[in-house]
Amino acid sequence: MPDNERRQPLSQSFFRKPESQQPVASEPPQAPAAPTRQIPQRSPLPPRPEQTEQRRVVLRPEVYARLREEATRRITDELDASHLQPANRDKPAIREQVEEKIRETMQSLDIAVNRGDREAVVKALFQDMLGLGSLEPLLDDPTITEIMVNAPQEVFVERNGRLERAAVDLGEDTQIYRIIERIVAPLGRRIDETSPMVDARLQDGSRVNAIIPPLSLKGPTLTIRKFSREPITIDDMVRGGSLSTEMATFVEAAVAGKLNIVVSGGTASGKTTTLNALSSFIPEDERIVTIEDAAELRLDKPHLVTLEARPANMEGKGEVTIRQLVVNALRMRPDRIVVGEVRSGEAFDMLQAMNTGHEGSLTTVHANSPRDALGRIDNLVLMAGFDLPVRLIREQIASAIDLVIHQQRFPDGVRRITNITEVLGTTGTTISMQEVFSFERDAIGERNRVSGHFTGSGLRPNCLDKLLQRGIDLPMSLFAKK
């Protein structure tokens, strides 16, 4: 489908006029052509930077530790303790003051290094005191989507869907511990031997997981999943080959038409990115409540409430689970409920919400296929301790969920929506499903490059009747088999 064909916005193209306004046709109406999507031209990504070794701090560990301690004391005494808050690291005035105090401290301690090494020490110490140390350059690199620290000398990154080793040396475990503490402390979370793993987020919304001994036998381990500064849109996903124009048009109509949607896929398959893109189609006048374990969704909507779960404190009290937040959200008069991921008993409460008037809800689940996604939700309800017959649970699932959008990361690093599947109902204890769109592989080339094409099933989705009731009319040509 040519990219230069202009697609009218959904609200103009597919919302039907009231019958009284329909023009009187002098001849049989022609079937509408499949809609096209105008993809905006985007400037190309900057060239990939060369993997250059960062200039190493040349000080002995004990000298560096003494310098850090003295510089910290001077800054808190002579400036203000607030200068050492991570949020201040991007403020030029504060950065200049902190770096000047570091230089003064080096001079007073008679730390003799040449000019180039001195500036390397100042930069490293600034990043260590206000940021995430040697990981800062990786966080600033827009081509990196994930940072994985297995050990001080084992830092890996994901770039363009592929893993590679980063030219970063964190020195020793204590620096990793310091980075983890700097991340979790502002969020009121903790990590120690009694609570050796934690989920958190950075100020930009990037997701963080940390796990330390005794659970991690290799030492403290840190994983940071970055998110682009500019949210990825459906148009960006079409340009990147994640789905076709027809699929994008259909999911836009599905969200606008208040279908309940589950996004499924494996780890790092792009579920949250897709959920964020789908949420952009929610109308501006609707009240949205998002619920997440660690807040990472970024919805640019005027009527938005963001809720985040909370772990227990050191006394084992104060925990607030996603399930509790889902129950509470029902009392907040939401038009839409968006749950970042269902992984426990909240699956039952989410189904109840979908079945009791909160249409258009969205969530994600880990699964290997659309049918596995429904099976996992079935298991989550059973594992939560609900004494309900399997048939009743599956009837609830089939009644609540309209679509399953399944996403997969391929060996070439490209993330694609491989299936959009409609949930039809139940036959006995079996949930009936029907494919709407799918990705068909053609071949695998060099460097595991996957080639294939997106195609419709050629069948009329039952959910078109629901969309028609909301004034959205999609042509059958959209679902043609290719």
CATH fold for domain 230-479: Rossmann fold (3.40.50)
Which of 434, 415, 438, 437 lies closest to 425 in space, CA to CA? Answer: 434
> 132-228 in CATH: which number?
3.30.450.370
The answer to whether 247 and 230 have CB atoms below 8 angstroms apart is no
Whole-structure pTM value: 0.77
37-43, long-range: CB < 8 A, 24+ apart: 37/7, 37/235, 37/238, 37/245, 37/248, 37/249, 38/3, 38/4, 38/5, 38/6, 38/7, 39/3, 39/235, 39/238, 39/239, 39/245, 40/235, 42/236, 42/239
Instruction: Report which secondary-structure segment, H or E, holds 174.
Output: helix 173-184
Domain map (residue ranges) of the chain: 55-131, 132-228, 230-479
Strand partners, 356: none
Which of 152, 97, 162, 98 lies closest to 130 in space, CA to CA? Answer: 98
Mark out the alpha helices in 31-114 (DSSP H runs): 61-74, 92-108
pLDDT in tens, the chain (482 residues): 444 444 455 655 565 555 545 454 445 555 555 555 554 544 444 444 444 344 455 677 778 788 888 888 888 888 877 777 776 777 788 888 888 888 888 888 888 777 777 788 888 888 877 778 888 889 888 889 899 999 999 999 998 778 899 988 888 898 899 889 888 887 777 888 888 998 888 877 788 999 999 999 989 999 998 877 777 899 999 998 999 999 999 999 999 999 999 999 998 898 989 999 999 999 999 999 999 887 778 888 889 999 988 887 777 788 898 889 998 998 999 999 999 889 888 898 889 888 877 899 999 999 999 999 999 999 999 888 777 898 999 999 999 999 999 999 988 888 999 999 999 999 988 999 999 999 999 888 777 788 899 999 999 999 999 999 999 999 999 999 98
